[in-house]
Structure formats: structure tokens, C-alpha cells
Amino acid sequence: MMKGFDPVTYAVPFFVLAVILEILLARFRKADANYEVKDTATSLSMGLVSQAAGVITAGLVSASMLWVYQHRLFTVPAMAIWAWAALFLLEDLTYYVFHRLSHERRVWWAAHVNHHTSQHYNLSTALRQTWTGGVAGTWALWLPLAFLGFSPAMILIQKGVSLIYQYWVHTEAIRRFPKWFEAVFNTPSHHRVHHARNPVYLDRNYAGILIIWDRMFGTFQPELDEEPCRYGVVHQLATFNLLRVAFHEWIGIAQDIGRSPRHLLGWLFGPPGWTPDGSRDTSRTLKERAGVPVHGYARPGSFLAPQADASEA
Amino acid sequence: MDDAFFVQMALSAAAVGLLVALAAWAKIAKPIGPLDEHKARALLAQEFPTRTVEAVWIASDGCGALAKSNGLALVICRVGDGFALRQIPWPQAVAATFKNGKLSIDLRDVAAPTAVIALPSWPPENLKGDLAA
């Protein structure tokens, strides 16, 4: 297994302290946050088991990364500032692609959906992590970075930095940052949108650290004061059973394939909600029915006025 | 897997226990009271905007509701301090098991296996004529 400096390991105590702080601030009404006991237990337990689940595929991931790195195009110096700047941008773009695929293609949504199953949005939600990400194979999206010549250790560190950054945006305690910051970085406000199930917010704001990718690729949606976020998934879970939280979409895929095997590719790679006869809702049909933009975004104060192109902003 | 991994897992498990206990102590769940007809209809309108609700039966403990909409039953069940809603064929709801004042509806959904709704009787006495169809 690949040994190296993993910043996430060192960040875990701060994750715990941050949750404690958020709960105490909410308890003494100094910040907006809600914690429900079973929901919190589910989120944290999902995170705990996900650590163990990651170990199962870690060997394969490490071996693949090392093999690709041995066949790299260039050798990027680990001590050069430009190398880390390039890696920062490329890794963040890779995360955007990973995250978009994880929402827009059902097989990868099956691995990612559990992160969105809480009806709460707080720091414990950030820890509701996947058990099946390794099996889903999305880690392969990071292999091109090794092929370019970034060492596996550098990639691991940058992935860790990204994960740590994304932790603190899972909060309602922070409303908005100054405009320049909201324009460039993923923030609690942007990520609240990402976790909301309101039609206008579905499949938006995939950013890891930089929100610029969403702005560039037309998936940006600002949080609208007139449309408060309702968190969770389109079909909310009616259970806190960890196995159901972790595997319900995988089981749903298996059931659909069993019912209609000839539509295998559609069940796997169609958008979540896809059916051969269109009998279920997808993000697109929900948006169309609600009269909100399928492409582009709704501007603050003009909720129902579709904008043609996000790049106009 | 080395010892450090198991130590890390044990410490993480202890931290989970601590945080859950802290959340229980803080009592900062969303303040939702028992479901009444007004709230139930608002939830149904939000979740099923194209459906017309013909009748609603509210659970006596306020933890759920069941509505009829044409050939469908719209089910609301409480999950923690939130709700989950599903639609199922009406005959499936009518055929649900009713025992000791609890209607247990098999939702046939991995993510929402069963809805348990406390009702005085089932099928309801006011289910007559067209409503029974």
C-alpha cells in the first residue's frame, strides 16, 4: 500500500472539534445548525465504516497509480511551486469531473448518493461518506495526473487538501462571504445549493475548492434567498439503517436490470431516474415541471426567469 | 492492516459515540410538531405538485399520514425530524396490514421499506362511493 503524508489523517481531530463547536454554538443559539440524534449517528457511522471500506480497495488504487506513474510522460518536480499550482488546478478540475459524473450517471450516483441522504446540512453531513466509491472505480479519474508526471504522493496530498477544504463548507452557520470570495471559491452558500433537493438546485455546484469550474461549464447556481434549501434526495430515505443508506441505489439498479436486462446500459449510465418509458423523474424533468432553468441558472430575485447561459454572468 | 489502523478506528468510534451523545444532549433537532391536515397537505403539494388530493387521514400520533389521489395512495412517514413521502397504488394501501391500531404499509422500496401509520381503523369508515374506487 502507498505510504505517504495524508493530511486527512491529521485533520480528523479538527473535524471532531469543529462538530463539537457547531453543536455548542447551535445549543447556545449563536449559530444556525440542527442536529437530529439518529441522523447524526447515521452520518458519523457512515464516515467511520467508509474509512474501513477504503482500505479494501486501497491496494488496487495504489498499485494502479504507481503503475501509471512508472509510465509517465514527464517527471514533475515535487519541490517546484509551479508544480503544486498546476496540481491544485488539475486536481480540482478532476474533482469537478468526478463529482459531476457521480450525480449525472446512475452507476456512480449509486456510490455517491449516501452523502446526500441526510435531511440535514451540518458538519456531520460532510462525514456521511461512501462505502462503495472504490468499487465504483471513479478513483481512475485521477490516474491521468500520474500519467502526466505528478507523483502519487503529491496527488494524495492534494486530494487530502481538497477533502479538508470541502469539510467546512457543510454548514448553515456561515451565510455568505464577500463577493470576490464567493466568485472564486466553493463556499457554504454554494454547497448548500448542491445538497438541496429543490428542482432549481438539482445537479448544480459540483465544485471542490474552486467554483469557477461550475461557472465555466454551466452548472453554477447561486443560493436564492427566496428559495430556502430543502436538503436530502428527491426520494427521501425513510430509514436510518446503514446498509440501506449505503446500498439502496445499487439494489435499485440490480432490481431494474433484473426486470429489464436489455436496458442494462441505460440503467447503469443513464441519469438517475432514467427509465426506458420515462415513467420516473430525472433532474431534467423535475426542473422542466417546476419551470426552472435546465441550462444556465436562476438569478437572485428572478427565481423563475431562466437565464440562457451561465457564462454570461 | 497494522495496529495503527485499528487504534485509529477505535478512536474514531469513540469520537462518534461522544458526538452523538453531545447531539442528544444539545436537543437541537428541527422543531417539527405533530402532523396535522394543513401540514400534511402542504407537504403533499410540495412533493406531488401535479396530484389532486381527495382525502387525507392523519396518524393519531402525528407521525404520518395517508392520502388518496385518484388511483394512488400518497404516504407520509416521519423520519427523525423530517418526513419521507412515497406514492403507491391505492389497492396496495387498502390491502395493507392493520393490527393494534397501526397500519403497516409495505412500500416495496429499499430506501423506504415500510410506513407505519397509527389510525383508528382501516380501511377508513369514510371511504365510500367514488373514494373507495
Chain B residues within 8 A (CB-CB) of chain A? 1, 5, 8-9, 12-13, 15-16, 18-20, 22-30, 49-50, 77, 79-86, 107, 109-113, 115
CB contact under 8 A, A23 and B28: yes
Examine residue A115 and state whether it is found in any structural domain, yes or no.
Answer: yes
What amino acid is encoded at A200 in this protein?
A: V
| B82: nearest CA partner in chain A | A119
Whole-angstrom CA distances from A221 to A21, A170, A218, A298 are 29, 17, 9, 7
Q: Identify the domain containing residue B13 by its residue range.
A: 1-30
Give the HSE-up count for residue A98: Cα atoms under 13 Å, Cβ half-sphere. Answer: 23
**Structure confidence at residue B127 (pLDDT):** 67
**Whether residue B107 is found in the same domain as residue B90:** yes
Instruction: Encode pLDDT of A180-198 as tens digits.
Output: 999 999 999 999 999 999 9
Q: Name the DSSP letter for residue A196.
A: B
Residue A177 has pLDDT above 50, yes or no: yes
pLDDT band at A296 (very low <50, low <70, confident <90, very high): confident
Which residues in chain A have Cβ-Cβ distances shorter than 8 Å to B49? 289-290
- Interface predicted TM-score of the whole assembly (ipTM), two decimals: 0.92
Which residues in chain B have Cβ-Cβ distances shorter than 8 Å to A52? 9
**Whether residue B99 is found in the same domain as residue B125:** yes
**Whether residue B19 is found in the same domain as residue B78:** no
| A289 contacts chain B (CB < 8 A) | yes
Q: Which three cell numbers stand for residue A96?
A: 469537478
Examine residue A19 and state whether it is found in any structural domain, yes or no.
Answer: yes
Examine residue A302 and state whether it is found in any structural domain, yes or no.
Answer: no
Task: Point out which residues pair with B116 in neighbouring strands.
Answer: B104
| A41 contacts chain B (CB < 8 A) | yes
CB contact under 8 A, B112 and A235: yes
**Structure confidence at residue A307 (pLDDT):** 43
Instruction: Encode pLDDT of A120-133 as tens digits.
Output: 999 999 999 999 99
Looking at the complex, report in whole angstroms how far the Cα of residue A248 sits from the nearest Cα belonging to chain B. Answer: 6
Instruction: Encode pLDDT of A15-40 as tens digits.
Output: 999 999 999 999 999 999 999 999 99
Examine residue A210 and state whether it is found in any structural domain, yes or no.
Answer: no
For residue A37, how far is the Cα from the chain centroid? 23
CB contact under 8 A, B115 and A51: no
CB contact under 8 A, A244 and B30: no
**Whether residue B58 is found in the same domain as residue B19:** no
Examine residue A90 and state whether it is found in any structural domain, yes or no.
Answer: yes
For residue B105, how far is the Cα from the chain centroid? 10
Burial grade of B1 (CB within 10 A; 0-12, 13-18, 19 or more): exposed
| A240 contacts chain B (CB < 8 A) | yes
Q: Alpha-carbon distance B99 to A115, whole Å?
A: 36
Mean of per-residue pLDDT scores for chain A: 94
How much is the average pLDDT of A48-77? 95
Q: Identify the domain containing residue A15 by its residue range.
A: 7-193
**Whether residue B4 is found in the same domain as residue B53:** no
| B50: nearest CA partner in chain A | A289
CB B106 within 8 A of CB B77: no
Question: Which among A36, A255, A289 is the nearest to B29, CB-wise?
Answer: A36
Task: Work out the percent of chain A whose per-residue pLDDT is above 90.
Answer: 89
| A58 contacts chain B (CB < 8 A) | no
Looking at the complex, report in whole angstroms how far the Cα of residue B128 sits from the nearest Cα belonging to chain A. Answer: 30
CB contact under 8 A, A35 and B26: yes
Examine residue A133 and state whether it is found in any structural domain, yes or no.
Answer: yes
**What is the domain count for chain B?**
2
Q: Identify the residue among B18, B20, B77, B78 best suited for mutation to test binding to A, counting A beta carbons within 10 A and taking the highest.
A: B20
Task: Point out which residues pair with A196 in neighbouring strands.
Answer: A231
Which residues in chain B have Cβ-Cβ distances shorter than 8 Å to A50? none
**Whether residue B67 is found in the same domain as residue B128:** yes
The alpha helices in A28-136, defined as continuous H runs, are 37-70, 81-104, 106-112, 123-126, 133-136
Question: Which among A44, A47, A235 is the nearest to B111, CB-wise?
Answer: A235
For residue A114, how far is the Cα from the chain centroid? 10
Size of interface A-B (CB pairs under 8 A): 118
**What is the domain count for chain A?**
1
Which residues in chain A have Cβ-Cβ distances shorter than 8 Å to B25? 27
Which residues in chain A have Cβ-Cβ distances shorter than 8 Å to B86? 235, 238
Examine residue A228 and state whether it is found in any structural domain, yes or no.
Answer: no
**Whether residue B64 is found in the same domain as residue B1:** no
Examine residue A17 and state whether it is found in any structural domain, yes or no.
Answer: yes
**Structure confidence at residue A1 (pLDDT):** 46
Residue B61 has pLDDT above 70, yes or no: yes
Task: Work out the percent of chain B whose per-residue pLDDT is above 70.
Answer: 93
**Whether residue B43 is found in the same domain as residue B102:** yes
How much is the average pLDDT of A61-79? 97
CB A205 within 8 A of CB A211: yes
How much is the average pLDDT of B18-33? 97
CB contact under 8 A, B85 and A34: no
Instruction: Encode pLDDT of A194-214 as tens digits.
Output: 999 999 999 999 999 999 999
